[in-house]
């Protein structure tokens, strides 16, 4: 029998890459039904993307049936895999996540710091609702999440989700693996890289070629590795040598905090935020997607920072379906493999992928110089999840103050208040906070009116 896959957030600009990934693996992963699900706000994008997907399927000549819907409960029954690639509040919400902190001299970024907190606050309640529907309508399905912040979302699912067969994905380890293989002038399949840590806080701990460890060689060569959304400032080799593991591009937000903040503020003042750049790229992509003659994934998609997420998802799904037992890097429960974390905490780690899911493997111990930072970020994730579930202002403030990218009680509080106001539509769990604020504002307005009346 064929495989049924449901993609929530099907109107995403990444969907053509997802479709391409399923098509090129069709002999191993016979997808019979692919459902693209979105919401009313994303319907116009869903319509455009689904037509391109149909042209791609027709060109491939495979018997894959494509369905679209705005009702996920219509799509979910009988699903074998569910993928999530959502952006609650769309790109306009991300623009606010970046602009508001930057206006106060604090770095705003999609998955880190204040921006990452608010993306989590908007996303986690929605993901947990999706988990309820999956548990009811397709309880045997695997949930493959590459909605950011992927680590925080996967942790929330494991702590509070009704459906716990969930795996998180990120494209950062793929990019690092590719760079390491290129550095060693070897095909990527000849190079094994072990990863351990957290999402966007992962380290390459070991590198092997032909069974021989080459970690020290790579550390000596590790220099400028860039991503579309992160500055290309190179690492000092002495620092990486003493650290003993390879930092990811996202570590620049912590180890090069001042440089990144200065660059982001300069861009914010001159050309706008990364989110605004992405919005322009996405607009160009959808203009391409409208072309009735286009029946392949366009090269422009590689300009998006999340390129390769979708292909990674296809690869993971294929390995689970075929019980391939290959090694992939995913976000899953630690199971005691990394002693720096609790047994059930979600980590980003190299795993053997089986039909029963990911099995973490030994990846080497993180150095003491890195442990403090990763544990600080894990505490931030946990506090953020508690805030997302409870709607507590104080828990959200705690999360913000824990994060090293904020480091200011005064401006952190200002940013928290402004972001809460900016995202009110997407944060119903903070109803009590908003009611209190409304009452305080009404009282202040009434007082001001009384004072004005008395003066008159």
Which residues are tagged catalytic?
Answer: 250
CA distance 14 to 38: 13
Contact of 347 with 203, CB cutoff 8 Å? no
Query: DSSP letters along 72-139, please?
Result: HHHH-TT-SEEEE---TTHHHHHHHHHHHHHTTT--B-SSSHHHHHHHHHHHHHHHHHHHHHHHHH-T
197, 322, 142, 154: CA torsion to nearest 10: 10
Kindly state the DSSP code that residue 392 receives in the 8-state scheme.
-
Radius of gyration from C-alpha coordinates of the chain: 23
Which three-class secondary structure state does DSSP give residue 363?
coil
CA distance 416 to 423: 11
For 138, what's the count of Cα atoms within 13 Å in the CB-facing half-sphere? 24
Which three-class secondary structure state does DSSP give residue 398?
helix
Contacts of 216 (CB under 8 A, 6+ apart): none
């Amino acid at each position: 029998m064929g495989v049924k896959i449901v993609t929530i957030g099907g109107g995403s600009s990444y969907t053509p890459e997802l479709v391409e990934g399923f098509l090129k693996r069709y002999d191993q992963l016979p997808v019979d039904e692919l459902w693209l699900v979105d919401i009313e706000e994303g319907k116009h994008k869903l319509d455009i993307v689904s037509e391109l997907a149909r042209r791609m399927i027709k060109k491939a000549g495979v018997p894959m049936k494509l369905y679209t819907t705005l009702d996920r409960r219509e799509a979910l029954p009988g699903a074998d895999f569910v993928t999530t690639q959502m952006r609650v509040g769309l790109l306009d919400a991300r623009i606010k996540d970046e602009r508001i902190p930057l206006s106060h001299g604090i770095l705003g970024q999609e998955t880190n710091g204040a921006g990452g907190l608010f993306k989590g606050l908007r996303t986690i309640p929605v993901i947990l609702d999706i988990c309820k529907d999956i548990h009811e309508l397709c309880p045997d399905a695997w949930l493959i999440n590459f909605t950011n912040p992927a680590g925080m979302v996967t942790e929330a699912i494991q702590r509070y989700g009704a459906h716990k067969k969930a795996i998180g994905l990120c494209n950062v380890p793929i990019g690092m693996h590719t760079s390491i293989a290129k550095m060693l002038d070897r095909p990527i399949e000849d190079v094994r890289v072990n990863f351990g840590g957290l999402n966007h806080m992962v380290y390459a701990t070991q590198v092997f070629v032909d069974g021989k460890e080459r970690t020290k060689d790579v550390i000596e060569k590790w220099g400028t590795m860039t991503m579309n959304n992160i500055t290309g400032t190179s690492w000092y080799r002495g620092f990486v040598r003493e650290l003993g593991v390879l930092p990811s591009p996202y570590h620049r937000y912590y180890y090069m905090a001042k440089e990144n903040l200065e660059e982001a503020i300069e861009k914010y003042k001159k050309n706008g935020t990364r989110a605004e750049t992405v919005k322009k790229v996405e607009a160009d992509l959808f203009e391409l997607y409208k072309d009735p003659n286009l029946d392949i994934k366009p090269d422009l998609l590689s300009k998006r920072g999340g390129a390769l997420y979708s292909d990674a998802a296809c690869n993971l799904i294929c390995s689970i379906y075929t019980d391939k037992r290959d090694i992939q890097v995913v976000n899953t429960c630690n199971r005691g493999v990394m002693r720096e974390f609790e047994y059930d905490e979600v980590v980003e780690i190299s795993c053997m992928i089986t039909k029963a899911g990911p099995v973490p493997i030994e990846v080497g111990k993180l150095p003491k110089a890195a442990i403090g930072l990763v544990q600080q970020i894990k505490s931030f994730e946990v506090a953020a999840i508690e805030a997302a579930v409870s709607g507590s202002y104080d828990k959200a403030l705690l999360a913000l103050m824990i994060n090293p990218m904020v480091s200011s009680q005064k401006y952190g509080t200002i940013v928290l208040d402004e972001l809460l106001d900016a995202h009110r539509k997407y944060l119903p769990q903070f109803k009590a906070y908003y009611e209190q604020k409304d009452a305080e504002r009404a009282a202040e307005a009434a007082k001001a009116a009384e004072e004005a009346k008395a003066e008159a």
